Structure 1
């Protein structure tokens, strides 16, 4: 069976069965992660079916970011992935199930599980790319809004004179986590793409800071110089 057929089957099952209200972690998100994973794994010896399946099942159990057991979600997702592949997709190669489960378990930032295989590294990088760039910008404010968090501290947007607190201010999440993601990437292509997309978030920060000063036609050059990744090639 081709990858396209597996993808179609997974998407159909998820649309019919997967019930949740988080639009930042919907089937469209899974499809984008797979798209990124294909680019990252080009020219590698990665098992494409393991990567595809890991991309489509990595969020099969997804707990809210403020849930006390959030760090356990990927382990639960790995267990559920094993069950679904064995009980629903009975023709899925049994010798690949554990590799998929490991990729699912290791994808999570909060779980801090080391990705031991190339496939797991690719899935992890592809998922983290979703937190950067234009898509990441949209997702961070969507999630923060769903959790009732404020957009930013107008008086101190970059937390110069206060502790960073992304449970209160959505913009603080950029410095707390998002801008650190490029250095966590496991593959060369994943890191390159992450650095490009992190620069977009820095440009947004520079535009926001300029606007808060009343300058609607410029970027804050100090913000660009301080936060932009070095040597980014577009």
Structure 2
């Protein structure tokens, strides 16, 4: 069971989110790996709370609902290729409306989820969505992000690295080597690409670690170290 410190805080502060969490837990259990499990949701929640606390922007309950639900349909994308941001947003809208959440909250959560995916290149309409996007992308750079990367295979037998397979200029959701994924996506998530100043600060050390890892990887690959 993943650590639930920040999710527990959310449920204590907003008891109406407890049922949402249980539904999310059931959905996330269908994902076949550790790269998008409940511990990812917990880390994104922790990032969101830090950003919210520093920035004093947005509605915390709305942000928290968006975090809980943002990857709820990731398992379906893994199986069918359907965009998890779109299906997750639709799932969240139906779920929250059926449980009596205000329409303004529901629509903000919907927009936040549909915009969170890096691959879609969408700009959130609301600050809550920008905070979710920042918090989610913070988990895409740094030490844990690298561990997540090597756990995820998109259903293909992916080599660590191949000099013959050049990185794509534009990330399309499937990198042909693990190292290419770093070049195609991770290293493009630079600190200045985050919306909030707090996230930019949090991103700097993580980004530098990722950069140093990549350099070290290549030096060892070519026996330069």
- Post-superposition offset of 1:28: 1.6
Q: In the alignment, which of 17, 41, 54 is matched to residue 66 of structure 2? A: 54
Q: Which has the higher helix share?
A: 2
Q: In the alignment, which of 110, 121, 131 is matched to residue 122 of structure 1? A: 131
Aligned counterpart, 2:183: 175
Distance 1:212 1:58, change over 3 A: same
- Post-superposition offset of 1:135: 1.0
Q: TM-score by structure 2 length? A: 0.80
Distance 2:189 2:80 in 1: 22
Aligned counterpart, 1:3: 13
Q: Determine which structure has more spread, i.e. the larger CA radius of gyration.
A: 1
Aligned counterpart, 1:219: none
- Post-superposition offset of 1:174: 1.1
Aligned counterpart, 1:206: 215
Q: In the alignment, which of 118, 122, 129 is matched to residue 113 of structure 1? A: 122
Structure 2 residue ranges without an equivalent (≥5): 1-10, 169-173
Aligned counterpart, 2:4: none
Aligned counterpart, 2:39: 28
Aligned counterpart, 2:87: 76
Aligned counterpart, 2:204: 195
Q: TM-score by structure 1 length? A: 0.77
1:144·1:150 contact (CA, 8 Å) conserved in 2? no
Q: In the alignment, which of 163, 167, 172 is matched to residue 166 of structure 2? A: 163
SS at match of 2:212: helix
Distance 1:145 1:74 in 2: 16
Q: How many residues align?
A: 206
Q: RCO higher in 1 or 2 (8 Å CA, sep ≥ 6)?
A: 2
2:24·2:69 contact (CA, 8 Å) conserved in 1? no
Distance 2:78 2:211 in 1: 23
Distance 1:109 1:17, change over 3 A: closer
Distance 2:82 2:103 in 1: 29
Structure 1 residue ranges without an equivalent (≥5): 217-234
Q: Deviations over 1:106-157 (max 9, x none)?
A: 101112221121110000011111111111001111113753211112xx4x
Distance 1:111 1:61 in 2: 16
Q: In the alignment, which of 176, 195, 210 is matched to residue 186 of structure 1? A: 195
